[in-house]
Amino acid sequence: MTLLTNYHLALTASRKTDEMQELIRKQGGTSSVRSMQGTVIEDKTIVKAMIRNGLNDDVDWFVFTTGIGIHTFMRHAEEMGVKKAFVQKLNNARIAVRGYKAIAALKKEGVSYEVTSEDGTTKDLLTKLSVFSFQKKHVVVQLYGIPSQEIEHFFRINKRHTTWLPYHHLPPEESVADKLLHELVINKKYQAVCFTSALQVKALFSCAEDRGLVEEVIASFDEDVIATAVGKVTAEALYESGVTKVVYPAKERMGAMIIHLGKYIASTK
């Protein structure tokens, strides 16, 4: 198939880019890697303190948003020699979880969950949580990378006793962000930009905001460039950033994203 002939794509991922570029090439297209993933650094001191406090305090709810956050909890609990006790603590609390990777991580550890987002989005998870009463409840929320305004707003307006498990996000290199924004807005170099995580989307728009280019980026996606996401969660981040049209596959896989983009382009000709 040559569905991507004459199309040049930007890949904002930091992993599996070689495989994606090869798939794009096989479909007749070309691509450039402009990683916007940055680096997420866990605060080990806070994580371990959270585990200790979680074992000693009454925690009513744990809210997990990523599989890697759960793995982080478990890894540090094991290093501290309290993993078995911590798993028991989780099973004694109520669990809300978003995303298939997070669900798989909980199942692997033998932890049951009560609330889940059917479509993997934060919006759906918060809708499900809104039916519960959290008065005088202690909630532990695991975040990843750039804070989620939706989750923070939800817990702020409900005035819950909330403990945040934060990560520090180091943004992508300034030179890479500048290059992508210039190519996207000024040079009109790309026919599509492919995002594989919500973090990449938020990082791009954060960089655009710092440079006063948010409106220009949104206009590029509205007019000339196909905003492409690996799945619904990443697409949600694009919509929240102001992009009105996003192409993404039903199955959240990088290869499926490239193939779906090609089929989408063919359907518009």
For the chain, give the percent of residues with pLDDT over 70.
Answer: 92
pTM value is 0.74
Tokens 């478990």 belong to residue: 74
User: Which of 84, 83, 105 lies closest to 95, judged by CA?
Assistant: 105
Q: What is the pLDDT of residues 253-262, one digit of tens each?
A: 999 999 999 9
For residues 2 and 208, what is the distance between their CA atoms, to the nearest angstrom?
A: 33
Q: What is the pLDDT of residues 196-237, one digit of tens each?
A: 998 899 999 999 999 999 999 999 999 999 999 999 989 999
pLDDT band at 144 (very low <50, low <70, confident <90, very high): low
Query: Is the pLDDT reported for residue 145 higher than 60?
Result: no
pLDDT at 110: 94
Tokens 């950033």 belong to residue: 241
The full DSSP string for 112-134 is --SEE-TTS-HHHHHHHHTTS--
Phi/psi class of residue 215: alpha, beta or left (left: φ > 0; alpha: ψ in -120 to 50)?
A: alpha
Tokens 């905003």 belong to residue: 227
- DSSP conformation class of 241: T
pLDDT at 36: 93
Amino acid type, 93: A
- Asked whether the beta carbons of 254 and 228 are under 8 A apart, the reply is no
Which residues neighbour 174 within 8 Å (Cβ) at sequence distance 6 or greater?
none
For residues 188 and 181, what is the distance between their CA atoms, to the nearest angstrom?
A: 10
For residues 37 and 11, what is the distance between their CA atoms, to the nearest angstrom?
A: 10
Query: Is the pLDDT reported for residue 155 higher than 70?
Result: yes
- Whole-angstrom CA distances from 123 to 65, 134, 143, 190, 229 are 12, 18, 15, 30, 17
Q: Give buried/exposed letters for 35-44 (b at 16+ CB in 10 A, else e).
A: bbbbeeebee
Structural domains of the chain sorted by starting position, each given as residue range(s) with its CATH number in brackets: 8-38+172-268 (3.40.50.10090), 40-169 (3.40.50.10090)
User: Which of 158, 112, 121 lies closest to 138, judged by CA?
Assistant: 158
Query: Is the pLDDT reported for residue 63 higher than 60?
Result: yes
pLDDT at 159: 58
Q: What is the radius of gyration, based on Cα positions, of the chain?
A: 20
Name which of 6-10, 108-112, 159-163, 226-230 the model is least confident about: 159-163
Greater model confidence, 166 or 67: 67
pLDDT at 179: 96
Query: Is the pLDDT reported for residue 13 higher than 60?
Result: yes
Query: Is the pLDDT reported for residue 252 higher than 70?
Result: yes
